[in-house]
Amino acid sequence: MLRLSTKSRYGLRAIFDIAYNSKGKPTQVKDISRRQEIPPRYLEQIFRNLTRARIVGSKRGPNGGYFLLKHRDEITIKDIINAADGAIEVVPCTTNASPLSRCHRSEHCAARTIWREAQEILSKFLGSMTIADLCTKAEALGVEKENNGKLDLSI
């Protein structure tokens, strides 16, 4: 069974939450944690990787929190997975970067060609889906947006 790690899944939910609820303002971990039901300490660990990957930035202080460094239509699902876990591998022998790619059967393994093709298709698909796409899906599902408890005085 192919599974994404908890880091990747939670990272995606956290970035979605910022894009969907923040209105461009920094969002505090406690708010993301509450809405997405992710432990705040684990979320902080995930945000370190997302910060290193230049997907999010952070601001300290009472109005601080995390914010997107790119527009939500420029952040792909693949970007988040790569930041959280590294490159997507269906099986270890599909990339030359993996030490397991040196398997003595790798040059004559028909199954390896299938795994490589599956990996390319999955990578291409996840690279084509953006956080903006996820926000559109959430709106279609009727997912409510939260104001972070702040008054919206726009007219």
Helix (H) or strand (E) holding 56: strand 56-59
Q: State the pTM of this model.
A: 0.85
- CA torsion through residues 132, 88, 116, 3, sign: negative
Q: What is the pLDDT of residues 81-108, one digit of tens each?
A: 999 988 888 887 776 665 555 677 777 8
The residues facing 57 across adjacent strands are: 67
Q: Tokens at residue 5, please?
A: 């790690």
Q: Which domains does the chain show, CATH number per domain? A: 6-87+131-141 (1.10.10.10)
Residue with tokens 């069974």: 1
Residues 6 or more apart from 84 whose CB is under 8 A from it? 5, 7, 8, 10, 11, 46, 49, 50
Contact between 10 and 40 under an 8 Å Cβ cutoff? The reply is no
pLDDT, tens digit (0-9, with 9 covering 90-100), for 32-87:
999 999 999 999 999 999 999 999 999 998 888 999 999 999 999 999 999 998 88
φ, ψ for residue 141, nearest 5 deg = -80, -10
